[in-house]
Amino acid sequence: MHVEHFMTPHPVACDASDTVDKVARQMRDKGVGAVVVLERGKVAGIVTDRDIATTVVAEGLAPDRTPVEDVMTRDPARLTLDDNIFSAIDTMRSANVARRIPVVNEYNELLGIVSISDVAVVAKDLIEAVLLEETHQAMEETHVLTGGKRILRALRSPTKAERLPPEEALRPVTAPTPEGPAPSTGRP
């Protein structure tokens, strides 16, 4: 499955010269935890709510005078539309467990963003599909007869020994005599 099928298209973005307070309001208003930072229309970085808390607030910087380029993560890892779920996971892991990765085209223009929650949903669906397929295949390969199936099979196609009457049924009721059959007494 390619990135274009599970990315969030048109993510929230800002200009590198925007102030931190403006970007923080964007995060609040759009309900996001990260904003992609652009310089001349190209991806230059990414800023997260954590970046704002640990850099701007913790260091006592003025959010209305601090440009977002001073606190953003520069040159973040990127994905393209050709990447698949596995390369997205690998990119997130190799980028120090990045929680959000911008998706760009060949000109480094922003197309979307992939979050760790997007990957988790796809991974869950993939795991369920693989397990279902493996279970189905294993059941097809085993063909083990269970107790109920074994009984039905015996009833539908008995073996030769099961079709023969019991040995007692083959013995005559009366013993023959040399002169012929024994006279019947009327008693069993």
pLDDT-based confidence at residue 21 (cuts at 50, 70, 90): very high
> Angle 116-142/85-94 helices, nearest 10 degrees?
130
The dihedral through the CA atoms of 176, 181, 183, 188 has a sign that is positive
pLDDT digits (tens, 9 = 90+) for 42-62: 999 999 999 999 999 999 999
pLDDT digits (tens, 9 = 90+) for 107-148: 999 999 999 999 988 888 888 877 887 777 766 666 555 566
Cα–Cα distance measured from residue 65 to residue 46, given in angstroms and rounded to the nearest whole number: 19
pLDDT-based confidence at residue 176 (cuts at 50, 70, 90): low
Q: Is 0.75 surpassed by the pTM of this model? A: no
pLDDT digits (tens, 9 = 90+) for 87-98: 999 999 998 878
pLDDT-based confidence at residue 17 (cuts at 50, 70, 90): very high
Instruction: Say which residues have a Cβ less than 8 Å from residue 82's Cβ, sequence separation at least 6.
Output: 2, 3
For residues 14 and 68, the answer to whether their CB atoms sit within 8 Å is yes
pLDDT of residue 134: 76
Q: Which CATH number fits domain 3-116: 3.40.50.150, 3.40.50.300, 3.40.50.800, 3.10.580.10?
A: 3.10.580.10
Average pLDDT, integer, range 23-41: 96
pLDDT of residue 183: 55
Domain boundaries, the chain: 3-116
Report how far apart, in Å, the C-alpha atoms of 28 and of each of 31, 49, 58, 64, 113 are. 5, 10, 19, 16, 18
Beta strands in the chain (DSSP E): 8-9, 13-15, 34-39, 42-48, 73-74, 100-104, 110-115, 176-177, 180-181
Cα–Cα distance measured from residue 76 to residue 43, given in angstroms and rounded to the nearest whole number: 8
